[in-house]
């Protein structure tokens, strides 16, 4: 089953299809580079208008291609395999030296409560590709997988207590079925400081009121 922020690698037929698209020089050069090195694409929102048998993918280009966000569609049978963004600890060398110890402690604390954290965004893509994505304002975007609301509480508490402020921690709490919410929105919602929360799924987003969207994942 597809999930948001899942990585996919295409077969040769898939890349041949994408390289044949009519696009401008920036997008075309970027696509050619991706194809030549068999780099991954990322699963994006699968809209209702998507033709049957197609999968919507994204290519967030690095700095050298103007950080262009390239939206793509390919037949599902052109997907060779799927994978994940790098684990939290793998991006440590990309962080400022004064942050690295604190980041490893945070990643270890998340692992210690049974929470899997991965890094997407600029840090994740630079780690994956070796290309230049990072800039002065780059956030550290997290994909934090939790089993239920109690685990989400633990994870967001640890993230909110991080001992560093730069780079800024951003990203989502993600439940096993792929349903996700911004981790910074989870705590105020759980504490009933706000009535609604933006819930993200593979097929779209909805502003949810109440906790019925949590289903069996809800705990006291």
User: Active-site positions?
Assistant: 139, 141
CA distances to 182, 194, 219 from 198, rounded to whole Å, are: 8, 11, 19
Q: Using CA atoms, how far apart are residues 85 and 142, in angstroms rounded to an integer?
A: 10
Q: 74 forms bridges with which residues in the sheet?
A: 55
Q: Using CA atoms, how far apart are residues 102 and 164, in angstroms rounded to an integer?
A: 7
Nearest of 194, 198, 193, 202 to residue 213 by alpha carbon: 198
């Amino acid at each position: 089953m597809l999930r948001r922020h899942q990585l996919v690698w295409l077969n040769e037929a898939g890349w041949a299809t994408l390289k044949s698209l009519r696009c401008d020089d920036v997008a075309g050069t970027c696509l050619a580079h991706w194809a030549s090195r068999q780099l991954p694409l990322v699963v994006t929102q699968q809209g209702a208008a998507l033709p049957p048998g197609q999968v919507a993918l994204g290519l967030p280009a690095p700095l050298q291609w103007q950080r262009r966000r390239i939206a793509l569609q390919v037949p599902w049978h052109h997907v060779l395999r799927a994978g994940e963004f790098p684990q939290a600890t793998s991006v440590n060398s990309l962080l400022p030296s004064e942050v690295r110890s604190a980041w490893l402690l945070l990643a270890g604390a998340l692992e210690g409560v049974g929470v899997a954290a991965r890094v997407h965004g600029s840090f994740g893509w630079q780690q994956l590709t070796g290309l230049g994505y990072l800039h002065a304002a780059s956030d550290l975007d997290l994909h934090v997988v939790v089993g239920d609301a109690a685990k989400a509480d633990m994870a967001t508490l640890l993230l909110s207590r991080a001992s560093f402020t730069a780079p800024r921690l951003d990203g989502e709490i993600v439940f096993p079925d792929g349903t996700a919410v911004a981790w910074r929105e989870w705590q105020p919602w759980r504490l009933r400081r706000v009535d609604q929360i933006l819930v993200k799924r593979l097929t779209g987003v909805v502003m949810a009121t109440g906790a019925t969207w949590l289903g069996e994942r809800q705990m006291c």
